[in-house]
Structure 1
Amino acid sequence: MPEPITQTEYWNGDVGARWAGMQAELDQVFAPLTASLLEGAGLRPGERVLDIGCGCGEIALLAAARSGAGGGVTAVDVSRPMLARARTRPATGAPIRWIEADAQTHPLAQEHDRGHDVALSRFGVMFFEDSCAAFANIRRALRPGGRLAVLCWRALAENPWVSLPRAAVLSVVPEPAASPPGSPGPFRFAEGEALVDLLGQAGFTGAAVAPIECPLEIGADPEAATRFSATVGPIAGLLREIDDPALRERALAALRDAMPAEGPVRLGAACWLATAVNPG
C-alpha cells in the first residue's frame, strides 16, 4: 500500500487549488462563524496577531483592519496555492507577513521579538500531526498573557451542512473506513473537553470552549450548494475517489436531489470557540 500523504502534500495538491479557487464562496459561507471568532478574540487596535492556518487570508485581513497601523499580523499556512491567493487580496490597517510554513514546527516565537498578543485560527488547528506539540509551539509565540481563540467543528451529527450531503453521496458509494481516533481531520476536536485538556497539556491556562451554532448558506440556489459541497465541502474527497464516471454522476445527482428544490440552501453548523491564555 502507498504511504499516506502528509497534510502539507494534501493542502498543496488539488485540494489547496480547489479551496483557492473557491475563496470568495468559502468566506461568504463561513462569514457568521468568522464574526463569532473575531468577537470572541476581542481584538484591539495596535495588537500583534498570529493567524494559524490562514488559508486564503480572510481572518488575517480582517485582523489587520481591526489592529490598525500600530499593529501587525503574521499569517501562516502550509498551502502554497491558498497563500498565493491571499497575497493578491487588498489589505488595510496593519501590515501582514504571509509565511509558508507548518505552525507545528516553524519557530513562531521568532516571528515577533515581543511576542504576539493573540493567536487566531478559523478551522485550521484540526489538521496537525501532533496537536499537543503544535499548541505548545503556538503558545511560545504569544507574550505572557497573550490570548488564543480558535474555531473547530463539533461532531459530524451536529453539522447538517456536512452530514446531509455526506448521507446523499453514501447512498450511492460505500462508506470509507473510519480514520484512527485523534488523527488529523475536520472533526478532530468534536469533543470539547478533550480540546480543553489538550490546551492544558500544551501549557495554556484558563482553557474553555463555548458552543457556536448557526445556519450556513452554502449556496444561493441548489446548484450552487451542490457545487460548493462537491468542490470544497468535507465530502468532496469522497467524490474525488470515485473512479467510475457513471458512478460519480449518480453520486452527484443524489447530492443535488438532497438539496431543497429551490431558493437559498441553509443548513445547520455547530462548532466550538476555544479560548485560552499563555501564562508566560
Structure 2
Amino acid sequence: MTISFDPIVFKRTTRAQWEEAAEAWHRWGPTIEDWLGEATAVMLRAAAIGDGDRVLDVAAGAGGQTLAAARLVGPAGRVLATDISPAILEYAARVASEAGLSSVQTLEADGEDLFELEEGSFDAAISRVGLIYFPDQQAALTGIHRALRPGGRFSAVVYSTPDRNGFFSIPVGIIRRRAELPAPAPGQPGPFSLGSPGVAEKAFSAAGFHDVTVTTVPSPVRLPTAADCVRFERESFGALHQMLSRLDASDRAAAWQEITSDLTQFETPTGFTGPCEMLVITGTR
C-alpha cells in the first residue's frame, strides 16, 4: 500500500490530536517531568539561560520546561511559549500563573512560521520533543535562528534511535504494521526523525547554526507496570493516536493489547523501566 505524505493534512491532524490530548498531557505532568527532567536540565544549561534573558520556547506543550526556564530568567526575564495547540497553551499559562511566574507569555503559533517575531529578539530558544514532529524542520530551524540575537543558543531535546527507545518504538512498530503504514522517508516528521547520527547536526548547520553539539541523556520511563506506561501513551501521545486513526475501534483495541503484552518485557520486581534515550542538540547563532 502506498500512502503519500501530505504536510498540510499532517499538520492539521497534529493540531487536532494535541487539542484532544492537552488535558491528559497536563494531567501526566509529574510523570513527564520525572521522565524528561534530566534532559530538560541539560537543555537549559546548554542554552545558557540566565537571569533577565528572553527565551523562546517552541512547541511548548503544557509548559513543564517553560516553567523551568522562567525560574532561571527571573522576574526581569521573559519566556514566550509557542504551540500550534491553543488548548495545551491554556494549561501552560495556568500552571505558570499558579506558580507565580509572571515572566511567562503564550502565543499560538506554527513553529514553522515564526517570522512575526522580531528578528534577534531572543537570547535563547528551546524545544522539548517538538521539533521532531514538524513537517518542515528546516523552516522551523531557520525561523528560530532568525529570532535569536547573534551569539544566542538554541537547544532541543529529541529522541535518539528506535533501538534505544523501546518504550516508544515498540508501540510505533506495532501500530505501523497493523495500520499498514510505511516507515517515514528521510526528512519526514516522526519521533526518531532527528535521532540518527549526523542528522540533527546537518539540519542545524543548514539553518545557519554553528558550534553544534549533541549530548546523550539516558531517560528511562519509570512507572509501576507496563499497563501504566500504555495508559500514559494511550492518553497523552498524540503521535500514536494520529497513526491509529486509520483503524476501527476493535483494531485499535487489539493494537493496544499487543503493545501492552510486548512492553511487559521491561517489567522488573521493582516496577516498569522503559528504555528511552534523548539527545540534546544545541547550536549557536
Q: Is the 8 A contact 2:114 2:140 kept in 1?
A: no
Q: State how 1:133-144 maps to structure 2 within 5 Å.
A: 133-144=139-150
Deviation at 1:119, TM superposition (A): 0.4
Is 1:227 aligned to 2:231, yes or no?
yes
**Rounded Cα–Cα distance in structure 2 between residues aligned with 1:22 and 1:133:** 26
- Which residue is equivalent to 1:33? 39
Is 1:125 aligned to 2:131, yes or no?
yes
Change (3 A) 1:92 1:7: farther
Paired AA for residue 111 in structure 2: A
Question: Which of 166, 172, 180 is 2:185 aligned to?
Answer: 180
- TM-score, scaled relative to structure 2: 0.84
Q: State how 1:16-95 maps to structure 2 within 5 Å.
A: 16-26=19-29, 27-28=32-33, 29-89=35-95, 90-93=98-101, 95=103
Structure 2, unaligned stretches of length 5 or more? Answer: none
Paired AA for residue 53 in structure 2: E
Deviation at 1:150, TM superposition (A): 0.7
- TM-score, scaled relative to structure 1: 0.86
**Rounded Cα–Cα distance in structure 2 between residues aligned with 1:194 and 1:166:** 21
Question: Which of 164, 185, 193 is 2:170 aligned to?
Answer: 164
Paired AA for residue 127 in structure 2: S
Instruction: Indicate the SS of the match to 1:30.
Output: helix
Q: Is the 8 A contact 1:222 1:261 kept in 2?
A: no
- CA-atom RMSD, angstroms? 2.6
Question: Which of 254, 267, 271 is 1:264 aligned to?
Answer: 271
Is 1:274 aligned to 2:278, yes or no?
no
Q: Is the 8 A contact 1:221 1:263 kept in 2?
A: no
Query: What count of residue pairs does the alignment treat as equivalent?
Result: 273
Cα deviation, 1:207-254, whole Å, max 9, x if unaligned, reads: 12122223122x333332221132334544444432152x33333322
Is 1:209 aligned to 2:214, yes or no?
yes
Q: Is the 8 A contact 2:93 2:104 kept in 1?
A: no
Change (3 A) 1:151 1:3: closer
Change (3 A) 1:186 1:19: farther
Instruction: Indicate the SS of the match to 2:198.
Output: helix
More helix by share: 2
Paired AA for residue 164 in structure 2: E
Structure 1, unaligned stretches of length 5 or more? Answer: none
